[in-house]
Amino acid sequence: MSDLVVKVGGEGGSDSPTTAGEFITSTAIREGNSVFTLRTFPAEIKGGLATYQVRMSDGAVHSQGDGPDVLCCMNQESYDELFRELRPDGGVLVYDRDSVTLDDHLNGCVAYGVPLSSIAADQIKERRTKNMVLLGVVSALFGLPLETLKQCVQDKFGKRNPDAVALNHAAMEAGHAWTQDNVAKRDSFGFTSNPAMATVRRIVVDGSEAVAIGAAAAKLDVYAGYPITPASDIMHWLAQHLPRLGGTMIQTEDEISALGVVLGASFAGAKSMTATSGPGLSLMVEMLGLGVMAELPAVIVDAQRGGPSTGLPTKCENGDLNLAVYGAHGDAPKIVLAPADIHDCLHDTIGAFNLAEKYQTPVIVLTDQSMAMRTQAIERPDLGAVKLVTRKLQKKHDPHYKRYALTADGISPVLLPGSPGGPYYTITGLSHDEEGNPATNDGDLGAAMMDKRGRKIASARFESGWSRLFGPERGQLGVIGWGSLEGALHEAVERLNAAGTAIRALHLRMLSPLPVEEIEAFAASVDKLVVLELNYSGQLQRIIRAEMDLKPGLIRKYDGIPFTPGEIEAALRAEV
Amino acid sequence: MSDLVVKVGGEGGSDSPTTAGEFITSTAIREGNSVFTLRTFPAEIKGGLATYQVRMSDGAVHSQGDGPDVLCCMNQESYDELFRELRPDGGVLVYDRDSVTLDDHLNGCVAYGVPLSSIAADQIKERRTKNMVLLGVVSALFGLPLETLKQCVQDKFGKRNPDAVALNHAAMEAGHAWTQDNVAKRDSFGFTSNPAMATVRRIVVDGSEAVAIGAAAAKLDVYAGYPITPASDIMHWLAQHLPRLGGTMIQTEDEISALGVVLGASFAGAKSMTATSGPGLSLMVEMLGLGVMAELPAVIVDAQRGGPSTGLPTKCENGDLNLAVYGAHGDAPKIVLAPADIHDCLHDTIGAFNLAEKYQTPVIVLTDQSMAMRTQAIERPDLGAVKLVTRKLQKKHDPHYKRYALTADGISPVLLPGSPGGPYYTITGLSHDEEGNPATNDGDLGAAMMDKRGRKIASARFESGWSRLFGPERGQLGVIGWGSLEGALHEAVERLNAAGTAIRALHLRMLSPLPVEEIEAFAASVDKLVVLELNYSGQLQRIIRAEMDLKPGLIRKYDGIPFTPGEIEAALRAEV
Amino acid sequence: MAQTMTAGSEPQVRKAKDYRSDLDPIWCPGCGDFGVLAAVSEVFAEQQVNPDEVVIVSGIGCSSRFPGFLSCYGFHSVHGRALPVATGVALANPKLKVLVVGGDGDGLSIGAGHFPHAARRNVNLTYLLLDNEIYGLTKGQISPTTTDLSLARKALSSPHGTWEQPINPVGLALSYGASYVARAYSAQRKELTSVISRAFRHQGFSFVQVISPCTTFYNSYKTMTPRVRPIEEDHNIHDRNGALMLAYDRKHVWLGEFYRDPDRPTLTDQFEHLKQLAVGGRPATLEAVLDRYS
Amino acid sequence: MAQTMTAGSEPQVRKAKDYRSDLDPIWCPGCGDFGVLAAVSEVFAEQQVNPDEVVIVSGIGCSSRFPGFLSCYGFHSVHGRALPVATGVALANPKLKVLVVGGDGDGLSIGAGHFPHAARRNVNLTYLLLDNEIYGLTKGQISPTTTDLSLARKALSSPHGTWEQPINPVGLALSYGASYVARAYSAQRKELTSVISRAFRHQGFSFVQVISPCTTFYNSYKTMTPRVRPIEEDHNIHDRNGALMLAYDRKHVWLGEFYRDPDRPTLTDQFEHLKQLAVGGRPATLEAVLDRYS
Ligand SMILES: Cc1ncc(C[n+]2csc(CCOP(=O)(O)OP(=O)(O)O)c2C)c(N)n1
Ligand SMILES: Cc1ncc(C[n+]2csc(CCOP(=O)(O)OP(=O)(O)O)c2C)c(N)n1
Ligand code: SF4
Ligand code: SF4
Ligand SMILES: [Mg+2]
Ligand SMILES: [Mg+2]
């Protein structure tokens, strides 16, 4: 099985390393590889260090891998900043010898210097094709099929800009030719196609597109949002496509308004959603409480970034769980989900709409920066097979109808505004009676309504399919994880089990309500329990401790960069 | 020891039961009694049922007591709603026989019907003096000195309105005379003065005034706030008095702006504060995160009411702890305090300013509706003895000064804007370096800064004086409480210990950081542990479980009405 | 207020009182808001509005209790957020007639950031701002429209007076690009009803500032009555700049219709247009979109 | 950017570049904000501003990175909240000169609710709204001031165009009662500098809309340059209604000073007055206040 991690670094901008990385990714996918990408961005809009890492394998890949096997440095800064990441045992450095001066110590790495800049400037007469020259070099060195690379370029620019295609093709060929003529391969890395896989129906999307597609598949009617990194791309996709699909996307004046529009639309019967990141979620807290109190279905996607406050806007953290679970004054239980990969981003968004409708509640979906900006080939969803849930409706006119009827399961049928003949009702954020009328002097009724909302949400923990298990039936150690680290955790668990340590992992995608029975069963199957998280305080670990008679340990990381499998492996090894 | 609980109910408005309750309260205080009051409000601005309960004793009182000994009903609604609260074993009902029709079943209570309305209308020629007539009746029946009552009226209206004084005096006398002439006392309740206590220097304030006075004593410079029940009275006090004391109070356009002004003022060196209730705290969440990240001292008072959402605006709940502790995306540790009585409202506000300055952090002070609106006589504060803390300042010019120096204790000296010669700096909500410059590409530095803020706040748990212990050295049961229920808890613990059950209680007034060592020591002194809270989910119980190796049980109440000592007594008895 | 109009057996002609719910208003005697409630019921009767299709949205305040007192669908949301919520209702189901009712504090203080945007987007709704120049529900603090200093001094939050310059709601609505702008006075029921009626018929964002005094905390009837004056017949209702000058006139508080632009496309028009445009004849499907990602 | 001006050894005369910090702007080449940064440094030099006493407050956006690039005290706060934070600074220490810098999204979208209130309170600060008609930092979505539809169509959030009516920042500032209102263009450095200089000297709330194009996402230099025109000499700067008409003129984008009221008391004046008034000759003490509660 081939498994190759390539990282490209250079200045963000027109000859960007990001574009190069994207073409490597799409080529690998067409060649039937699984890929896993990881991008970093500079704070500057233009300029600054941008990187794009792609792991490709003709088998399955779950994570970005450990350090890159191949590092391509397009300028000095990228070499200075990234060289320490290159795997020390024989990693390969490809660099622009026109602009990069190497250190004395290569740590046993193989270095290929290529005059990327001068090939682009002199042969192609267009400096900005430097990244395309690099692609030719990579193709020649590691066997990434040049024709497929060229086809990807053709498909991307072809219609709009045939001149660009010609120029880029020339640059790739020049890079390829120079390498074949001048470089003697001294490393053992290589790319392998997987023709079988190439025929499977897949779509290539990043986490943002996956969420948006999921929402569209769930028949989203109204999207309202305010731009924020790394959530904006969801809005951009919907701006483009939602009208075509019969829905409406509105960019509001702020996040409070966005959730206000969403709740208003939901009241009127629409499936509605907003997406934001931490600062926006903080602003939505009052509206969230209203959604819980008024029992309105709504989906709120939070693409988490580094916090607190403006924090690390282009970095990755899973630190908004507390806010999602506890956000809102008073007790306001709601459903909180966390997709773990790009496939989940699509399907869990559909699931979020279903849960929102079924339980008549705001559902928060926690994704993160790494998923929002990571491209992956996932199985094309079978839209015909998607099951959608609609809120329990009161369809017939019934003079005794009560909007907030105190039912056994806490779910009261909804008579939608517009329904003929009423009984008319007004919903309110005040404590109310079964009809919806303010009942602010009746504490017992207020408590009964609190119980209703509480038991309704609590019962959602028995929904199935919101977790995944890895490893053997029993373990010396059990790891509970959540969020985007699943892939790395999966890989670490496989390695450790392969090395003879029995480790199980339970990866949760529903965090509120907490599936306590499931966690109990898992805990019973292991000797020791630890929670793995990408935040400072161990937010899930604290919630588990708060709700259950368990005292798991904690492994955490909070420097804005996802775990590598190696890091997890080392940390887990230390626990057993 | 006398101990008398009187409750007055009637229509909110000009002949309001509230005014009657207030005069009973001030009279009892002048007569050297301890008092504990409890008020309820209708949702209507005018009209609706208003009640005022006052417990008076020549000894100490800690709570509102159990049901009233004496219930005064000024209209039918008050009788219909409140009669079930009257103590069944010989309680006294005083009612307006002109407007109230009694049920057949008096449950063994003593009932005195008095023509309150006709005395007011016919003898005094002013229907609105009905509440004053009632005061005369109460005075005659239970020995509350008429002269002191009259003096209180004189002191309240005398300067502004001598005619009102005369009218009210006449009404009181008429009620008193009618009772002496027509009623044969058939109950055993009576009021006792305590002349010794009457000479102690006390002030009579409600919780809102106490907070405002505490802030003024802490030398508050800038107050910014937005009206909300039950916090507005803090603003009203400061609007009146703060300018006289050299400070500034501004009513902002919303709560986000209020905390914005507070943080801006703090940056410029001022002691600044805002006060709000749940919905406002929800809106402040993003700003709170900024305060934590930028390390700005600030005091945020949250007078909790019933939630979630608009909830029960005139009722009592201690349900905002989660939001105070976990509010803000990312990990944003801050200090959270909770005064337990009116005395604390004053002194803990001073403490909040001191902690905010010392630890350079937002401090949230959780009071609640019952304290905000409860009048009590407390020891007059010795302003000369108040100790104030100022943030650690960088006073000398030092070219190597760094605003966010990574110190061992996490506290970095502050060079205030306006300081000559700099080094100038810009603070930011972005992850930053020691100088304050954005450092959004350096994850390790971001983590180091997270650690700095974390250890700074964690160390505040060793501050002393933020808890109180009741009961014997060791207990069969240990109760941990927080918030305004302390008095009722104290009383219940005394009763149970008197009855031979060994029960200890630890009442916490600092909830974040959690004083884990202190709780551990307490837990070690009892056989079983339970947390007592005025909210649905047991918010403190969950935090204790999350942070410590303890699994306390939970006793909770969430109908908007504070615990009575009897309720706690019964619940604790069930635990042992 | 679960008042039922038994389906199929509605009265032939609905009277104003048929639009009232069973819930009694919690307002103080004399509160200006009673007049507005009566006017809205009359407008509904006059236009024989179908209550099935009406949604009234409000924030928090005395005036914001409005929806519950009428027999149609309502959403009493949170303080200052009525316009976003109402925008959501309007977008979700363009068949619904959306009425927004709220106070001066609700709309111009905490909600001040939403007003410009709802107006410039021309959301299809009628916004009645019940202006009593005070925060009624929280017991009388000054608001952004408080003008009378002697009244302001009685407010608990401004015992020493205020120097803040009050906001002119009609001026703002015009600056924000509202397509219908009017002012009325709850003490003049006939004119009030007629203005609300026209606002409710307008397609797009119609704004009516209703002077609706708070008899408990800021009783401005006495000082207001001599200041108001009906807009002259010759005022050109399509001239926005002229309307602005009228709004900022210092001598009188003009009542009536300031401005109307019946032709501006509404937000609903825009989104319906987008859907048509995007579909471009052939129905778009998600499958077709997914093809691009394959 | 901890740039030090060693105390006691300051240069006799500070040059514009002395006011720049060590931090290099992260802006794209050609970004209009460079011009504003240069103009502000020049104004500081011209007025020989003491950097000890300057606090620059901003929200979030490309333009909001401004404070860090100057050598004085700064607070880069959160998106849309610069005005409240700046109000706090101004109230806490009236000796500080407060400059607020932010974008059109920051100030007119998420921050839209604070602008009216800072203006009508006449907070003592200068507010430079760097208007590029787009959200720069989040990669070019439309903003409340986006006017050019062909440019808007390129924005990621509005590929099919927008029908929303843009906001006129100068018109709003005037409606809100700002006591100084001007407009400038970052491409006209001399005029820009002179306007900022006058705004910075103004006592009270001075507002300058600076047209400052985003070369990356909404390069409006070409379309803007022919539309701008200096305000005529005969414009009466004390006539607010005249200024409004100029603001809403559809033919030209007028540049220069629209309105100035040098006499209106500032928020600081008000609060200093209150303190005096309250003290009334004798110093008030908390003890004396407590006596009332005894
Ligand atoms: C977020 C939030 N802040 C504050 C409040 C308290 N509050 C309720 S109504 C109100 C203002 C009422 O004034 P206005 O909107 O003018 O309505 P009116 O009562 O005068 O009709 C305020 C401040 C609240 N409910 N929510
Ligand atoms: C609460 C919140 N919402 C959204 C964002 C994301 N955000 C950052 S800057 C910005 C808008 C930038 O536009 P503008 O204010 O016009 O400044 P410019 O970049 O154009 O100078 C947005 C939406 C944020 N930081 N915080
Ligand atoms: S307080 Fe004022 S606004 Fe509220 S109901 Fe009473 S009169 Fe009306
Ligand atoms: S994106 Fe636009 S506004 Fe931002 S720095 Fe670049 S040119 Fe300037
Ligand atoms: Mg009002
Ligand atoms: Mg902008």
Per-position DSSP letters for A539-565, written without gaps between them:
HHHHHHHHHSS---EEEE--SSSPPPH
Q: Does C293 contact A256 at a Cβ distance shorter than 8 Å? A: no
In tens, the pLDDT along B42-60 reads: 777 777 899 999 999 998 8
Protein residue closest via CA to atom 6 of ligand 1: B228
Average pLDDT over residues D76-105: 98
Cβ partners under 8 Å of residue A473, min gap 6 = A504, A525
Per CB-CB distance under 8 Å, the chain D contacts of B425 are 1-2, 73-74
Whether ligand 2 lies within 6 angstroms of the CB of D63 is answered as yes
- Inter-chain touch B422–D71, beta carbons under 8 Å: yes
Looking at chain C, which subunits does it touch, using at least 3 CB pairs closer than 8 Å as the criterion?
A: A, B, D
Nearest CA in chain D to C268: D163
Q: What is the pLDDT of residue B286?
A: 98
**Higher pLDDT pick, D273 / A479:** A479
CA C106 / ligand 1 centre spacing (Å): 6
CA distance D116 to C176: 12
pLDDT, residue C153, reads 82
Percent of chain B with pLDDT over 90: 89
Question: CA A223 to CA A239: how far, in whole Å?
Answer: 9
- In tens, the pLDDT along A23-60 reads 999 999 999 999 999 888 877 777 789 999 999 999 98
Q: Which chains touch B (3 or more CB pairs under 8 A)?
A: A, C, D
Question: Residue B283: CB within 6 Å of ligand 1?
Answer: yes
Highest average pLDDT, of A193-197, B156-160, B452-456, comes from B452-456
Give the model's pLDDT for residue D283: 60
> Which-ligand-closest: CA of C137?
1
Q: Tell me the count of B-D CB pairs closer than 8 A.
A: 214
| ipTM entry | 0.96
Q: Which domains does chain B possess?
A: 3-198 (3.40.920.10), 204-385 (3.40.50.970), 392-463 (no CATH), 467-575 (3.40.50.920)
Task: Report whether D236 contacts D257 (CB < 8 A).
Answer: no
Find out whether B42 and B49 touch, Cβ atoms under 8 Å: yes
Q: What six digits make up the tokens of C122?
A: 């021309």
Burial class (CB in 10 A: 0-12, 13-18, 19+), A389: middle
The DSSP line for B82-145 is HGGGS-TTT-EEEEETTT-PPPS--TT-EEEEE-HHHIIIIIIS-GGGHHHHHHHHHHHHH---
Q: Shortest CA distance to B356 belongs to which of B292, B419, B281? A: B292
Per-residue pLDDT band at D274 (split at 50, 70, 90): confident
Ligand 3 proximal residues by C-beta, below 6 Å = B 45; C 27-28, 31, 33, 62, 132, 136, 214-217
Q: Are A285 and B323 in contact, with CB atoms under 8 Å apart?
A: yes
Contact state of B265 with D275 under an 8 Å Cβ cutoff: no
Q: d(Cα B416, Cα A110) in Å, to the nearest integer? A: 53
Return the pLDDT at D7.
47
Reading the block at residue B74, the tokens are: 């000024």
Predicted confidence band of residue C3 (pLDDT cuts 50, 70, 90) = very low
Residue in the structure block whose two tokens are 């409006």: D220
Query: Going by CA atoms, what residue is nearest to atom 5 of ligand 3?
Result: C27
Which residue on chain D is closest to A225 by alpha carbon? D157
Does residue D163 or residue D246 have the better pLDDT?
D246
D50 touches D92 (CB < 8 A): no
The pLDDT of residue C280 is above 80: no
Q: Is residue D131 in contact with ligand 4, taking CB distance under 6 Å?
A: no
Q: Alpha helix (H) ranges present in chain C? A: 33-46, 82-92, 104-105, 115-121, 149-152, 169-175, 189-201, 221-224, 240-247, 267-279, 286-291
pLDDT reported for residue D281: 55
- Ligand 4 centre to CA of D32 (Å) is 8
Residue among C114, C167, C265 whose CB faces D163 most closely = C265
pLDDT value, residue C123? 98
pLDDT of residue B279: 98
pLDDT at D6 over 70: no
Residues of A in contact with B327 (CB under 8 A): 282, 285, 323, 326-327
Query: Is the Cβ pair D216, A45 closer than 8 Å?
Result: yes
Supply the Cα-derived Rg of chain A in whole angstroms. 26
- Output b/e per residue, A286-303; b: 16+ Cβ within 10 A: bbbbbbbbbbbbbbbbbb
pLDDT the model gives residue C1: 42
Residue of D nearest to A232 (CA): D138
pLDDT over 90, % of chain A: 89
Q: Is the dihedral of CA C76, C78, C79, C85 positive or negative?
A: negative
- How far is the centre of ligand 2, averaged over its atoms, from the C-alpha of A152 (Å)? 34
Residues of C with CB below 8 A from B255's CB? Answer: 110
The answer to whether A8 touches A96, Cβ cutoff 8 Å, is: no
What mean pLDDT is reported for chain C? 93
Phi and psi, residue B29, nearest 5°: -65, -45
| Ligand 4 midpoint to CA D27 (Å) | 6
| CA distance to B49, B72, B112, B211, D177, per residue, from B15 (Å) | 12, 14, 20, 29, 44
Pocket test for ligand 2, best of D135, D146, D214 (most atoms within 8 A of CB): D135
Is ligand 4 within 6 A of the CB of residue D62?
A: yes
| pLDDT for residue A88 | 84
DSSP for residue D203: S
Residue D246 Cβ contacting ligand 2 at under 6 Å: no
Closest chain D CA to residue A250: D157
Q: Is ligand 2 within 6 A of the CB of residue D106? A: yes
Average pLDDT over residues D87-115: 98
> Rounded to whole angstroms, what are the CA distances from B253 to B38, B133, B248, D148?
32, 44, 16, 33
Q: Enumerate residues with CB within 5 Å of ligand 6 (an ion).
A: D 103-105, 132
Q: What is the CA radius of gyration of chain D?
A: 20
Q: Is the CB of B228 under 6 A from ligand 1?
A: yes
CB of B244 within 8 Å of a chain D CB? The answer is yes
pLDDT value of residue C11: 56
pLDDT in tens, B2-46: 899 999 999 987 668 999 999 999 999 999 999 999 888 877 777
Give the integer Cα–Cα distance in Å for D92 and B246.
Answer: 11
Q: Please work out whether the CB of residue C61 comes within 6 Å of at least one atom of ligand 1.
A: yes
Which residues of chain C neighbour B46 with C-beta distances below 8 Å? 28-29, 216
Q: Which of D28, D33, D60 to mutate to test the pocket of ligand 2 (most atoms within 8 A of CB)?
A: D60
Both structure tokens of D109: 């979208």
Q: Find, among B470, A299, A23, B429, the residue nearest to D61 by Cα.
A: B429
Percent of chain B whose predicted confidence (pLDDT) is above 70: 100
**pLDDT for the residue numbered B221:** 98
**pLDDT > 60? residue C4:** no
Contacts (Cβ under 8 Å, ≥6 apart) of A506:
A467, A468, A469, A478, A479, A480, A481, A518, A519, A522
- Reading phi first (left if > 0) and then psi (alpha if -120 to 50, else beta), residue D104 is in alpha
Query: Quick check: D1 pLDDT over 70?
Result: no
How high is the pLDDT of residue C278?
60
Weakest-pLDDT range from A201-215, B294-308, C6-20, D202-216: C6-20
Q: Residues B229-254: what's their mean pLDDT?
A: 96
For residue D212, the CA-to-ligand 6 centroid distance in Å is 9
Residue A6: alpha-carbon gap to chain centroid: 21
Q: Which of B30, B379, B426 to mutate to test the interface with D (most CBs of D within 10 A)?
A: B426
Helix ranges restricted to H, A186-254? 195-198, 207-217, 232-241
Contacts of A326 in chain B (CB under 8 A): 322-323, 325-327
CB A178 within 8 A of CB A114: yes
Mean per-residue pLDDT of chain A: 95
CA gap D164, B43 in Å, rounded: 40
Q: Which of C79, C114, C132, C215 to mutate to test the interface with B (most CBs of B within 10 A)?
A: C79
Cα separation, B82 vs B102, in Å, equals: 12
Contact between residue A296 and residue A255 where contact means Cβ atoms under 8 Å apart: no
* Cβ of D186 less than 6 Å from ligand 4: no
Q: Which residues pair with D127 in a beta bridge?
A: D100, D207
- Is residue A256 in contact with ligand 2, taking CB distance under 6 Å? no
If one compares A200 and B461, the residue with the highest pLDDT of the two is B461
Compute the distance between CA of residue D135 and CA of residue D105 in angstroms, rounded to an integer: 6
In chain B, which residues have their Cβ closer than 8 Å to the Cβ of D274? 243, 248
Tens digits of per-residue pLDDT, A145-201?
Answer: 999 999 999 988 888 888 999 999 999 999 999 999 999 999 999 999 998 887 788
Q: Is B263 on the interface with D (CB under 8 A)?
A: yes
Chain D residues whose CB is inside 8 A of the C263 CB are none
Instruction: Verify whether the Cβ–Cβ distance B426 to D51 is below 8 Å.
Output: no
Query: From the CB of D217, is ligand 4 less than 6 Å away?
Result: yes
How does pLDDT run across A510-556, given as a tens digit for each residue? 999 999 999 999 999 999 999 999 999 999 999 999 999 999 999 99
Average confidence score pLDDT of chain B: 95
